[in-house]
Structure 1
C-alpha cells in the first residue's frame, strides 16, 4: 500500500487571529482526530497539502510531526509515533474559494473505514442516437474497505443504455475487499426520452406566422 507523507505541526494557539497569521505564511490551520484519540490542533503547508491531494481525496497520509512553524506555538508532550490519516473535510472561503481549514481523520490501517468515492461514466449511451437524454443522479458512492484499498474512483459503463433504461448502485463493479455501503437500488443514471415540452416548443417556432406589430392601415 502506498502512503503519502505529509509534514504537519502541532500548535497551541487557536482562533481567528492565529489562523490568519498562519495563512499569511502559506500555512493552513487544521485538526486531527479519530476513534479514542484526542483532537490535535495542527498546521500544514498549503503547497504540501495540495500536492498530497493530487493523489486523490481518499489518499492515506502518513503524518510527519515536525517543529512548529515560525510564529506558531508548538504543543508539548504529545505522543508522536507513526500516525496515519485521511482528509475528512476541507473548508473554503464562501466567495474567494481560498482553503481555510482542513480536518484529518486518524485511522488504523488494519481497520476498515467508510469513504465516498467518485463515479466516472464510460462511453456514450446507444439510445442518445434516438434522442435519449442522460440524467446523472448520483456522482459518488460510499464504500467500505481497509484504508489502503479505497479506490480513487469507480467506473460505470453507460454505452449500452437505451431510452427507458437505467443503472443503479448494484451495477457498480468494485475491487476485491471493497463493499458498496449505499443501497443497491439507488439510481445513478437513466436515459430518458426527450422532454415533450421542448419538442412542442420547437414545432411551434417552426410553424408560427410572423407577428405584426402595430395597427393595420385602414382602407379609405
Structure 2
C-alpha cells in the first residue's frame, strides 16, 4: 500500500471519528463569565428604542444592522424614549432569552446590565454553537447596577443567553455583543477536526520512520 493510500485512508477514518463526535464542542473550548462593567467590551450596541410590545421583540446592532431577538414568558416592551432597555409591560419580569435572529449567526462576547427591583439571585446561562450550556449563579443588587458578560475562547461562540431571576427585573439594558460571525457548518468542523488529527498522526509517525530508515 502506498503512502498516499495510507494517508487518505487515515483521513477518512478521522472524518468518521469526527462525525461521531459531533455536536460535541472542541475539547479546549469554553465560555468565560465576568461580572462588573467593562469586563468585556463587545464592539456593537443593541439598539432597542422601538416602542414595540410582545412576548418576542427585536433589536438591531448599531454597526452591522443585524437583528437580535428577545423572548419572554410575558409581554415585553422596548420603550421608545430614554435608555435602550427591555421591560415587561406589567413592570417586572424574571425570564429573558436572547439570541441573533438569524440562527446561523452567533457572537464572541456579550455584556448587559440587569436592573433588579430588589436584592436577590438568579442564573445566567450561555449556550454555545453546539448547544452546550454554561450556567452561572449570580447575586443581584437592587441598586440597578448588575453588569454581567461572557467571552467565548478556543473557537467557542455564544449562540444564546438565558437570564432567570428570583426577583423581578425592572429592565435589562446596555446590551452589547460581538464580534458577530457565522456558525461553521457541520462539514467545516469535520474537516477541521480531521485535519488536526491527521497532523498529529503524521508527527507521531516521524520518529518511527526515521528509525526504520536508519
TM-score by length of 1: 0.27
More strand by share: 2
Instruction: Report which structure shows greater RCO (CA 8 Å, sep ≥6).
Output: 2
Larger radius of gyration: 1
